[in-house]
Amino acid sequence: MAGPGKKKAQPKGVEDHNLSRADFVYQQLRLGIRSGDFRPGDRMREADLAARLNVSRTPIREAIRRLASEGLLEVAASRGVMIIQLDKQQVRELYALRETLEGTAARLAAQHASADEISEMRELLARPGNTNKSPDVVAKFNHAFHRAIHDAAHNRYLAHALEHLSDSLALLPGTTFEMPGRAASAHAEHLAILAAIEKRDPEQAERLARSHIQMAGKTRMRMMFDAV
């Protein structure tokens, strides 16, 4: 029996329930950021989120702490909790990291991709939606192609890093495919990367993937800040 100075332990089932609730809220808020339901600068009010997700404020607070630690939320005493708005330097840093990770993924894909995985990439790039659809549709095909490379790299830790990078990329407004000519040039860059993967040339695949992300980063900087 617990003494008067000791806190009674919660039943294990209660702890598991609270944990699953917090994880549920965390995943829902992440999905909301990725889908655009929550945009940079949006206020994240505990009461509104609790009502929206039909949970108490406790798992909301836990999810907010996790998302803030990952750089997706900003907690300020004067303004409350907001979806973070990235400045020029943060965008540069984000693309610098993306260049490294995507380059590594392409290098590993050139070494480890199966014939079926390469065929899947080839089939993705053959679809007309890569160039002649709306920017949002092109962006979906772009995401699918890069995801195929990530899978073909066969490195779970790299895949985990790229997954979290995608959360930060979701904080950026619009898509670089809104810029005239970017869809066509990106498609040509994708074809070159795939050719290097097919030839099993890791150095070339990495170099081309890095160059591809550099071009995307320059386009993004022009879009957001009229700078390179």
Classify domain 88-225 by CATH architecture. Up-down Bundle (1.20)
Cα separations (Å) of 56 from 21, 59, 60, 67?
9, 7, 7, 18
- What is the full per-residue pLDDT of the chain (228 aa) written as tens digits? 444 444 434 333 334 454 588 899 999 998 898 888 888 889 999 999 999 999 999 999 999 999 999 889 988 877 789 999 999 999 999 999 999 999 999 999 999 999 999 999 999 999 988 887 799 999 999 999 999 999 999 999 999 999 989 989 989 988 999 999 999 999 999 999 999 999 999 999 999 999 999 999 999 999 999 866
d(CA 103, CA 193): 10
Per domain, the residue ranges of the chain are 12-83, 88-225
Matching CATH topology for 12-83 and 88-225?
Answer: no
pTM of the entire predicted model: 0.79
Alpha helices in 71-173 (DSSP H): 88-112, 115-126, 135-153, 156-169
At 81, give phi and psi (nearest 5°). -100, 130
**In the CATH hierarchy, which fold is given to the domain comprising 12-83?**
Arc Repressor Mutant, subunit A (1.10.10)
Count of H-run helices and E-run strands, the chain: 9, 2
What is the chain's percent helix, strand, coil content, to nearest 5?
70, 5, 25
Per-residue DSSP letters for 171-200? TS-S-GGGSTTHHHHHHHHHHHHHHHHHTT
Structure token digits, residue 63: 């999810």
d(CA 40, CA 61): 19
3-state secondary structure of 85: coil
As a whole number of Å, the CA-based R_g of the chain is 21
Any idea what the Cα angle at residue 97 is, between residues 147 and 68, rounded to 5°?
90
Q: What are phi and psi of 80, to 5 degrees?
A: 80, -150
Distances (CA, A) of 105 to 33, 59, 145, 226: 25, 35, 12, 30
Region of 155 on the Ramachandran plot (φ > 0 left; ψ -120 to 50 alpha; else beta): beta
Q: What DSSP character marks residue 92?
A: H
